[in-house]
Structure 1
């Protein structure tokens, strides 16, 4: 019998979340961000589910981090436009960019120089990245106009030229820094009469004034709410990944007995403990604290003791019907209808949903539910 742990990917929920992003974006176009193997969900399968939507509803482009991710999509049969969010890492990659029909961001002078020296058969669409305050990639705002003019004048890349930047605090309730970045980019866009691509998932959900010509929904496509304070729109997100396992053993413990490495959790009363087939060797976060929620037979209970490589333990004391073979949902949707948000689990692990979703390792099988 196969180990019961698997990651179920609901492609219908993915489509729903993308449709929500399009609805919120209004007249803006919505590129679907599927970098990092679609945040751990399987980039080719997710892209195919979105690409097979009717023409008026499908993404006009997908976004990935690097050439290798774009190559995997093309090899998987994805024909839509693909933008490289970090551009190229070596000048020789431009030949593959051209051959695969990719778009690319440019954020550094060496990339601009390499692009202007290249002679493609047709222009390569370029997104010029500006550092409006994130201070990772991009040209300083006072240099961006000159770079824009060079690119706009070059037949190599005059097609599809736009300005992009990334918000550092779009998820936060305090909007002062967000507004500073937005004002900077909108002023630059007016000066250059340039289209903008600014809005990540939180800005797509909460800041319509930042939507511009394009939005870039990422983690929201997978059902995770990136906002510090949820709003009406983020409440409409549906979980795409359900990390599902089963109870594989049950232990009855007297009050005072410890569970797991270092005995971190001790029974405060006579307790039933369930052993679950899932551990940090599968990508579940080892830092999960006692009390991290799980669903057992659709009922909320909690982790009791440190996560091991292949197993974790949960408190079954108040779920007497739970036994070997009972369903356990680490996050996502139970067969009983209950939902456990990956965002809630992440908070108990002192991390964010991105790390949990992208951290599920290859030994965990993915099972795809086709869209309706």
Structure 2
């Protein structure tokens, strides 16, 4: 088969592989635009363009550096040919054909998501916190969840460690996302994850966040004038004097940002359900099939995110519990939405068509 015909087939297969993802994203954007017009929510579809451009450039430079170091060590007689063979051996043409369209759409999706999240209070004023506090207490023996876990978490080094892991959530999210997006194997599972990823952010982070509008423990006092969680905030402030707790600065940024109109990077306050826990759960579901190390590392990370979300005053425990129950349902729905038929897989490295 000629390279030209193979390129056409690769492009066709890439479109088919990404079609459920594209349909889900653009259906969301259309509905979000309608909602934004109805509730007068400001939209900025270029919010994350520069950030993702920088991220993509950084990853490209890192990969290029790895290739150059490898070639320097091996010292092949024909470096350019060796570089080409290395790229084909790692199926790079397929990976780019499958992953680049997804990578180009992701900033658009997140810009719309953040715009809607920043305007949730226009859709539904915050109201659900007192009910969530009551549910938390009912689950945890009549005490707030943070008090229930505090005997084992209330130590400076533990708080610092949970804060670091909580910040690493962003790294885990995008490492897993882009590794899957640029994978050219197991098209059904790849498609299911990408659709589930979008649905998780939309349903957990927009739809249910609006339906159960809540701010979380860190913002309980500013929004409700109630000092229920002041002891937790006092603990975090005192710990921050010795062990940095960057969550406090982020919470202050979000609180100040809530007083402005229009979307900004990372803006928007919502508690129930926990998007952090939901995405960590989704990653754990996906990684469960890839051996013990990734399986149990993802489970341990999920547990740390759930505990950290409560201990760092981001969430009520029930926020995370709900996310852990809802995400497998979203995963199952995404499986039905994705094309479950076996897909033709293009093998550019040996110029022939392969089957998964």
Normalising by structure 2, we get a TM-score of 0.28
Higher relative contact order (CA 8 A, sep 6+): 2
Q: Which has the higher strand share?
A: 1
Q: Which has the higher helix share?
A: 2
Normalising by structure 1, we get a TM-score of 0.27
